[in-house]
Amino acid sequence: MDDELNALRRTRMRWNTPLSEPHADLLLDRMELAGGHLADLGCGWGELLLRALGRAPDLRGTGIDTDGTGLARGRAAACERGLQERVKWVEADAATWDVPAERAFCIGAAHIFGSTKAALEALTRVVLPSGRLLYGDGFWAAPPTPAAQEIFGPDLLALPDLLDAADAAGWRVLHLSTAGQLEWDDFESTSRAGWAEWLAAHPADPRAAAVREWLDRRLREYVRGYRGVLGFTYLVLGR
């Protein structure tokens, strides 16, 4: 897809993870935000980062991602909320980020480190020993279908194994919660909504067939392949 369509695809998504507003508030509560620095590794457009800054006036933030379109959306949102002086946006590989921080987010970005275990180990070098990490990652909530394994690869863990990996990396679990089915369904629906709206308005566009095929395939993969099989957990971790 071209840049125009890529920019449109996530426009109806609040954040790029299965997460409701009340669940987000709970996670931010458990992070005990105050002053210092918050690094969001693989931030996308940094919506949760901006909400954290809105809660804690003495907190500074940095969003790190390779997606320039997402970072531009984050910059615009920061300006709209008067937060532009307290947040930096860095276009870089978050797996190479090594600036220590009192708080960090890494949600749905384990793949940039290579695996869940590698991510949990690397993040110990970012979060200060007295700090907290909000870590979000997928896990097998039920035995995976062949289709789900093909989509998500062989390295996804069951939840107990993911917790073992956190423990082996030196983390203590301070809070654990998982995305509910409604959160998943909303996430999947909003991930398709931007292109679905475009398709309804441009049915004769030469790109319409490819967009329609993607929308149909994404819904089919979700319902037939990983709905109720792929879980997502949010861990607040300390040491």
Q: Tens of pLDDT along 3-26?
A: 788 888 899 999 999 999 999 999
Q: Domain map of the chain by residue range?
A: 16-180+230-238
This prediction has a pTM of 0.95
Query: What is the per-residue pLDDT across 30-65, written as a single tens digit (0 to 9) for each?
Result: 999 999 999 999 999 999 999 999 999 999 999 999
**Going by CATH, does the domain composed of 16-180+230-238 fall within 3.40.50.150?**
yes
Average pLDDT over residues 216-239: 96
Q: What pLDDT is attached to residue 130?
A: 94
Listing DSSP states for the chain in one string gives: --HHHHHHHTTT-SSSSS--HHHHHHHHHHTT--SEEEEEET-TT-HHHHHHHHH-TTEEEEEEES-HHHHHHHHHHHHHTT-TTTEEEEES-GGG----EEEEEEES-GGGTTSHHHHHHHHTTTEEEEEEEEEEEEEESSPPPHHHHHHH-TT--BHHHHHHHHHHTT-EEEEEEE--HHHHHHHHHHHHHHHHHHHHH-TTSTTHHHHHHHHHHHHHHIIIIITTTEEEEEEEEE-
Please determine, for residue 140, whether its predicted confidence score (pLDDT) is greater than 90. yes
